[in-house]
Amino acid sequence: MTLSRYLIIMTVATILCWVAWFLVLFNINPHEASTWSFMAFYVSLFLALAGSFTVVGFGLRVWLFKQNDPHFHQVKKTFRHGMIFGALLIIALFLQSQKLLHLWNTLLLIFAFAFLEFFFISSPRET
């Protein structure tokens, strides 16, 4: 798959995920919603955020910061970072909805995802 095809597919999929999230947001009453409705809310928001962070992160890495790694390494890094940032925000949003988000939980969550990123950085590269 070429880089331009990847970016087009990722951008279209991200836009579709944002549309799905807005449909869930405006068409479901949270007071009468089932567990599946909340799952649709969180999953569509996670996919939209992960896709947005991935596309924007790739653009920033390649065009703004002019990093010299091959593009497939940049794609892997930005996809991983997009998933991590998306998961971080979704977990924080869920904890906030349950009134469980406090400073120590937030710090623990950030440290857990930082540890996960350090694990990926320290693992040997596959080419």
Task: Give the mean pLDDT of the chain.
Answer: 93
Which residues does 79 contact at the CB level (< 8 Å), separation at least 6? 54
Report, as an integer, the average pLDDT of 52-78.
87
pLDDT tens column, 68-122: 778 888 899 999 999 999 999 999 999 999 999 999 999 999 999 999 999 999 9
Cα(103)–Cα(61) distance, integer angstroms = 31
Overall size of the chain counted in residues: 127
Query: pTM for this structure?
Result: 0.91
Instruction: Encode 40-64: b = buried (16+ Cβ within 10 Å), e = exposed.
Output: bbbebbbbbbbbbbbbebbeebbee
DSSP of 74-108, one letter per residue? HHHHHHHHHHHHHHHHHHHHHHHHTT---HHHHHH
